[in-house]
Amino acid sequence: MKFKNLLPVTLLAVFALAACGPTDTSSAGGSTDASSADDSSSNPSSEEEVPNLGDFVDGLAVGEVAEPLAAIEEIAGLLPAADGLVNRAVQEFRDYWSTGMSDPANDDFAYEDYAVYDVKRYDNDVLSVELDYQRMAPEYDPLTQSYGAWPAEFSPYYTAEAYLFEDASNLNYVYEEDGDPDNPYSFAVSTAKDSELLEGYLNTIGSSSDILYGLALADEAYSYYLPSFAADGFNYVATSASVEKVAADGEVPAHAVVSYNTHLGYYLSAELAWGSSYAGIFVERYYNWGVDFIIADGFVQYAYLDVGSMMQAEYVDSSAAPVTPVVAESPWLTNEEWATYVTDVATVALDVVGYGSYYTFYETEYSDVSNGEFAAANLPVIANYREGDLSDAGLWINIDPFLA
């Protein structure tokens, strides 16, 4: 899988549904049916055209697809084969937890992480990964149990490089942290040459694992919350799906814009839920899980994977004659009660008195432009690194096959 274990325990607890891991695509695009290949070579007329993302987009009419769920299901089946077309992926990762959502007992609970992965596949079957990881966090005062101002900019956290390559007899993977082979997190692993394993690793540069994970995550969130959302006070849980073809325009080719997300939310009378100290305050909370992506020229060129995001806003009516929302079943407001309250603009003045959010997402741009060949002289020397073990993380790839 592509994901290094970056999600904090707190988020994993909130998103219990995210326990379903990313779809395993370690052999994506790397296998063919040998018997079919033999038959087609002896009888070329028996060859059948293999469907692909390019043909799928070409076959769409401009505009929104009438049956997006069926279209997304078809796209999901075509994604892995397109991974082999990608030669570069630049992925931005953001993980954020605001002071407004923080537990004062945890002095490191408010933070924002920002990382950029630059992954390249070379014509001589080398995969390189560069990572720049940064972090910022506000100062925390344990005496007052409060946070100070956020820093003006991120601070370096760590950098890393990794290389996948073959030598005369082995497939090798080297991970180096902060430019130091002797760093305790740096390591090297090797296994016997395996063309299918190599191709699967090279294809991790493509989009399929991220997108299939996002589709599964949206489904899992919907299934997880739907049975109990009303009993838990949530006003709505819904899945949105869309596929739209956009016509070519100048240098922009025809492309398909795909979206599949699950949304969850509620409206709450804070006074009724939390006591008189919250008099006049009500809360809006919104969650999202899912993925949005763009297909052009036969492969996914952009993807936004929302592993889990939440926004919470606390409002108060500051008008001269504050209005108390009519709540039939406390403390939750129904959609109708909320709509009646917030649209009564003549008497309601909504001021935000508290705001908090958290999110974890991956935003990636993909390219099929060749990187040429990687210079063999610039490959790392295996002997300079300690041998990797089960305690090590592969940064971009799953190193378990090296350790089996």
The structural domains of the chain, with segments of one domain joined by +, span 9-29+52-403
Confidence at residue 17, expressed as pLDDT on a 0 to 100 scale: 28
Contact present, 114 and 363 (Cβ < 8 Å)? no
The Cα 117–Cα 312 span in angstroms is: 30
Cα–Cα separations (whole angstroms), residue 401 to 26, 162, 397: 10, 16, 10
Q: How many CA atoms lie within 13 A of 81 on its CB side?
A: 14
The Cα 337–Cα 267 span in angstroms is: 9
The Cα 308–Cα 24 span in angstroms is: 20
The Cα 219–Cα 85 span in angstroms is: 28
DSSP state of 45: G
Contact present, 58 and 182 (Cβ < 8 Å)? no
Confidence at residue 233, expressed as pLDDT on a 0 to 100 scale: 72
Confidence at residue 91, expressed as pLDDT on a 0 to 100 scale: 98
**Helical spans, DSSP H, in 22-175:** 34-42, 53-58, 68-82
Confidence at residue 47, expressed as pLDDT on a 0 to 100 scale: 55
pTM of structure: 0.83
- Give the pair of three-digit tokens for residue 102: 């923080």
Cα–Cα separations (whole angstroms), residue 200 to 81, 145, 151, 194: 11, 49, 41, 10
pLDDT averaged over consecutive 10-residue blocks of the chain (404 residues)? Answer: 29 30 30 31 51 96 98 98 97 94 78 97 98 94 87 96 97 98 98 96 97 97 87 84 97 97 91 85 93 98 97 88 74 81 70 91 98 97 97 94 94
Confidence at residue 273, expressed as pLDDT on a 0 to 100 scale: 84
Contact present, 169 and 192 (Cβ < 8 Å)? yes
The Cα 208–Cα 210 span in angstroms is: 6
